[in-house]
Amino acid sequence: MPILFVIYKRKDERQMENFRFHVTTDIRFGKDRLDELPDVLNQFGKRVLVVYGGGSIKRNGLYDQVMSQLAKNDNEVFELSGVDPNPRIETVEQGAELCRKEKIDVILAVGGGSVIDCSKAIAGGTYASGDLWEMVTKRAYLGQAVPLVTILTLAATGSEMNRGSVISNLKTKQKLGFGGPNFLPKVSFLDPTNTYSVNAYQTAAGSADIFSHLMENYFDLTPGTEVEDGIAEGLMRAVIKNVPVALDTPNDYDARANLMWASSLALNGLTGASKAGTWSCHAMEHELSAFYDITHGVGLAILTPRWMAHVLNERTTPKLARYAKEVWGVQEAVPELAARMGIQKLTDYFVACGIPMTLPEVGITDETNFEAMAEQAVASSAIATKAFEPLTKEDVVAIYQACMTPTTYL
């Protein structure tokens, strides 16, 4: 007996956007495959700049493994270490100069999103002329870049499989995303065991970043994007399921593997390609990081539920209720209540992950800069015009204010 189809009827005449999807990064996923590194690098040349952050890769042995492969391969090795968590334009300038002076053939970024973002900016900065902060503020870099290979050590930003980079300028209190076709890593090594030593706080913060990328793409006004939304829902469920495992058992291979692969797929275009809108929480968080240098994922976790509650209205409720159902399994039939339950579930989840969920907990104890931050958030993004729900400067201030105290949504 045939079932009666329930046919989803279009509410308006807008359609999915045209898009180009061209993600050529060669992903080498899994453990024990660093012996592939020499062949990978030899495609580009022998002169390698190794970029990394603090000493964590020295403590966990990864640095030695990489250097031993490079020595065996007779590479000419240069190093740039000390890349900051919110990588700075000064480091980019330093790296670009080194690349030019030493005629670097390939950059090997060993680290998380900050190291990879910084390496992309260096790769472009090597060929860019003039002031490198100007290269960033132009937002699109179409010029040449030094080839980039990455070895990922933190599941978070997705930079290992996309064209974007976020660079900070502490002098001007700006943190800006920019990108270009030649920033796409040629090869990225994703070995989940390289994230075993990531501590609980960074694991939770990185996962909040992944989750935020998925939510930012998900909450968009473009209609009919079932493929993108279905993928995003699946990836969100995978993150929800695996973060607690990774926090409980830091060397659980499959949990780390799922978080790592989710990080790449959350921001390589798969969940946003056909969408026209702009992101909201990232624009607001970039100002938090620019003014206070806090951990990006934590800033996002604090902002996201407040933003959801702020934009909850008659028009946005259906998508928020769908999110509650498909991502969190909320079975409530009243849409607005379901939406609120979804926001609460997200909040409870971040709390359970050990993420500080108010601004005072991360050291932001007064509202002095909120006006200036809100102004800059609106100025340097399209949140006032193209967001899921348009946000004025006053909206942004109200969202920052809501982050000052614990909140519940039911």
Query: Residue numbers of the site for its own copies (CB under 8 A)?
Result: 1-8, 10, 15-33, 223-227, 229-238, 241-242, 244-245, 248, 252-255, 257-258, 261-262, 265, 270, 273-274, 345, 348-349, 351-352
Q: Please, which residues bridge with residue 176 across strands? A: 167
Residue 195 beta carbon to its own copies: minimum distance, rounded to whole angstroms: 14
DSSP string, 29-76: ESSS-GGGHHHHHHTT-SEEEEE--SSHHHHSSHHHHHHHHHHHTT-E
Is 296:317 a contact under the CB 8 Å cutoff? no
Residue 52 beta carbon to its own copies: minimum distance, rounded to whole angstroms: 24
Q: Which of 18, 405 has the CB closer to its own copies?
A: 18
Residue 219 beta carbon to its own copies: minimum distance, rounded to whole angstroms: 16
DSSP string, 266-277: HTSSTTTTT---
Give CA–CA dist 36/333, Å, rounded: 53
Q: Which of 55, 253 has the CB closer to its own copies?
A: 253
Is 291:400 a contact under the CB 8 Å cutoff? no
Q: Are strands 164-169 and 47-51 parallel, antiparallel or unpaired?
A: unpaired
Q: Which of 23, 384 has the CB closer to its own copies?
A: 23
Contacts of 151 (CB under 8 A, 6+ apart): 34, 37, 62, 66, 108, 109, 110, 111, 188, 189, 191, 194
Residue 350 beta carbon to its own copies: minimum distance, rounded to whole angstroms: 10
Q: Which of 129, 331 has the CB closer to its own copies?
A: 331
Q: Which of 178, 349 has the CB closer to its own copies?
A: 349
Q: Which of 44, 261 has the CB closer to its own copies?
A: 261
Residue 288 beta carbon to its own copies: minimum distance, rounded to whole angstroms: 24
**What's CA 134's distance to the chain center, in Å?**
23
Residue 345 beta carbon to its own copies: minimum distance, rounded to whole angstroms: 8
Residue 121 beta carbon to its own copies: minimum distance, rounded to whole angstroms: 24
Residue 172 beta carbon to its own copies: minimum distance, rounded to whole angstroms: 37
- How far is CA 325 from each of CA 42, 91, 220, 337, 399, rounded to the nearest angstrom? 49, 44, 17, 11, 25
Strand ranges (DSSP E) for 73-124?
76-80, 106-111
Q: How crowded is the C-beta side of 87, counted as CA atoms within 13 Å?
A: 31
Q: Which of 20, 130 has the CB closer to its own copies?
A: 20
Cα 80–83–88 angle (5° rounding)? 115
Residue 15 beta carbon to its own copies: minimum distance, rounded to whole angstroms: 5
Give CA–CA dist 372/195, Å, rounded: 37
Q: Which of 168, 274 has the CB closer to its own copies?
A: 274
Nearest to 195 by CA among 30, 73, 76: 30
Q: Which of 351, 379 has the CB closer to its own copies?
A: 351
Q: Which of 134, 253 has the CB closer to its own copies?
A: 253
Q: Which of 216, 229 has the CB closer to its own copies?
A: 229
What are the tokens at 329?
């399994």
Residue 223 beta carbon to its own copies: minimum distance, rounded to whole angstroms: 7
Contacts of 368 (CB under 8 A, 6+ apart): none
What are the tokens at 289?
């990081």
Residue 96 beta carbon to its own copies: minimum distance, rounded to whole angstroms: 28
Nearest to 268 by CA among 188, 330, 206: 188
Radius of gyration of the chain (CA): 21
Is 95:51 a contact under the CB 8 Å cutoff? yes
